[in-house]
Structure 1
Amino acid sequence: MCLHAKVSAMAKYLISFPSAAMVVPDDEWEAVGRDSHAVIEEAKAAGVYVFGGGIDEDTPPVLVSADGTVAVGGYPWAPPLDGGFTVLELPSREEAIAWAARIANACRCNQELRVFQFDPQS
């Protein structure tokens, strides 16, 4: 019973940034890569890492309808979805903010933080 209570208290947090936020001088890219990978390794070692990565901006999105029709491009009214994403599972928003700050420091840009709604069936 205690284990179940602990699991349900955890939430998944999306930490992300748009590509335009990455304004990094050319000579710092190697350090950004090293530092950002180090933070991800720390999250993995801490057991909080779920997944992460960046949107492949060379492959355009497609919009798929319920009948299977495919149209090139996303929603025309929505801002483009690009940049990098990390999903961590953490017990509190405060811990999520602390990890977002570590990622922001490593990536040299601010991070957006969002929490996924809990769905027991997902």
Structure 2
Amino acid sequence: MAKYLISFPSAAMVVPDGEREAVGRDARAVIDEAKAAGVYVFAGGIDEAVLSARVAADGTVTEGGYPWAPPLNGGFTVLELPSRAAAVVWAARLAKACRCSQELRVFGFDPTS
């Protein structure tokens, strides 16, 4: 089984007024179903109120991410699934709950780490 990263950037999630509570409830319900199915690895979102930092090999800290890269933000879910087809089904469920399309990638998991 492979681990799949299902994610969306913050800007993709445009929720009409009054629906944010329903989005949270619906997204948590999908995560609860993934846990019950035994496919859940982890989920969460980037805390955009906290500035990222780049840390060099010598320990030097530079505030902010790579200036040339798009910002890393939004929500992330990792599920362990038997196939890409199964991952598409779960991504669609999350897309419906979050009211926005989800990006799907195979997570490069190293079982020896």
Q: State TM-score, norm by structure 1.
A: 0.90
Between Structure 1 and Structure 2, the one with more helix by share is 1
2:80 counterpart residue number? 89
In the TM superposition, residue 117 of structure 1 has moved relative to its aligned partner by: 2.8
Kindly provide the amino acid, as one letter, of the partner of residue 35 in structure 1: D
1:96-111 equivalences under 5 Å are 96-111=87-102
1:73 counterpart residue number? 64
Which range is displaced more, 111-120 or 35-44? 111-120
Kindly provide the amino acid, as one letter, of the partner of residue 24 in structure 1: V
State the identity %.
Answer: 78
Match of 1:61 among 52, 56, 81: 52
The residue matched to 2:5 in structure 1 has which SS? strand
In structure 2, distance between residues paired with 1:12 and 1:42: 17
Could you say what the CA RMSD is over the residues aligned between the two structures, in angstroms? Answer: 0.8
In the TM superposition, residue 121 of structure 1 has moved relative to its aligned partner by: 1.7
1:32 counterpart residue number? 23
- How many residues are paired up? 113
After the TM superposition, list the runs of 4 or more consecutive aligned residues in structure 1 that deviate by more than 2 angstroms.
117-120
Q: State TM-score, norm by structure 2.
A: 0.97
The residue matched to 2:77 in structure 1 has which SS? strand
Gaps of 5+ in 2: none
In the TM superposition, residue 118 of structure 1 has moved relative to its aligned partner by: 4.5
Q: Which has the larger radius of gyration?
A: 1
